[in-house]
Structure formats: C-alpha cells, structure tokens
Amino acid sequence: MRKYLAIFAFLVVAGSALNAQAVNIGIKGGLNSYTIGGDDTEDIDGKLGYNVGLLGHIHLSERFGLQPEIVYSTQGAKANDGSGDVKISLDYINVPVLFQYMYDNGFRIQAGPQIGFLTSAKAKADGVTVDLDDSFNTIDFGFSVGASYVHPPSGFGVDARYNLGLSNINEDDASKNYNRGFQVGIFYLFKHKS
C-alpha cells in the first residue's frame, strides 16, 4: 500500500505541471551514506547504501524548475550494543520535490521537502536478523538541499544532496531519532529539453 501511495504522490505532482514550459522524465541511481541522529546516538555510525528511481524535471521558467522524484533508498546505521556491531537497515520509498535554480551552464542548486514511506526495518547482529517494522514510523518527513549538473546535449548529469530528517522515526515517542544522510549519484533525462 505504501508503494502505491508514493507512486500516486509522484503522479499528482508531475500531472499538475503538464502546462509547464518543458517536462523531462529520467532515471537516476547512486550511493547513500546514512546515519541516525537524535537521542542516544553516541555509538551510532554511518551506513552505506544505494538509491535508484525515477525523476521528472519541469521547467517552470527560464531559471526555475521543479524536480519531483520517486526513489527506493537503503538507509539506516551501524551501532555497537556493547557485545558487538549491529547493522540497522531502513528501506524507504522517498518522494522528494525539489525546487531548482538553473544556471546557463547546466549547474543547478536545489532544495525542497521529502516524504518517505518505510518498506522494511531490520537489525542484523552475529548473522541473526530481527524484524523491526513495529518499532519505526511508516512515514518520514524531511528536507533536502544540494546541487546538480546536467550536460545539456546528452541529458546525463550528476547530483549531490544532504537529506535532513524532520520527523521522529521511532514509533515510541519516548526517544526521538531522525534520518540523516548524504546522497551522490548520476541521472539521465530522456529527450532532454534545455
């Protein structure tokens, strides 16, 4: 059900901009470096993961654009519980909507809100995996800020951003924790319109 909500949100944003000057559809993928911030996180380290998904780039004017995305993202952190390392894996379908300022040379700066739909939460230690779905909220709100570059003739580009979680990811409000992560990746816009 969460996957369908994410797809619906993406379609609503993309559909509302059909009268924009130029609309580009593309694919993207890259690497994540995520951690968990907030209460009792002194022994928590970052975890590498990946992201892959679809994007829509909408030219609102000569300088301003809107980029809604739907992205599968592997997140989480590594922790030490005193007896060994624990790997926390949090998988999301994220739907960021980035507002962009576009320069003539292909560079863009971007920022905007993001909603994430938790698809899986697990902890692994000593080869044993435990399901944690009931311990985490199914929806995560955040804010993204970053920059990207697109090579106008080819439609290929690179992207880098920081995602700052704004809502508590814990189901239990006694402890407040938030997703924090960097993403870098590449993308391709089909039939790119500059």
- % of the chain surpassing 90 pLDDT: 70
Number of structural domains (the chain) is 1
Q: Write the pLDDT tens digit of every residue in 93-106.
A: 999 999 999 999 99
d(CA 24, CA 187): 12
Residue 95: its H or E element: strand 85-102
List the CATH number of the domain containing 78.
Answer: 2.40.160.20
CB 65 within 8 A of CB 103: no
Full residue range of the structural domain in which residue 135 is found: 2-190
Q: Write the pLDDT tens digit of every residue in 6-38.
A: 555 555 555 554 555 578 899 999 999 999 998
Our measurement of the distance from residue 159's CA atom to the centroid of its chain's CA atoms, rounded to an integer in Å, reads 12
Per the structure block, which two tokens stand in for 27?
A: 């694919």
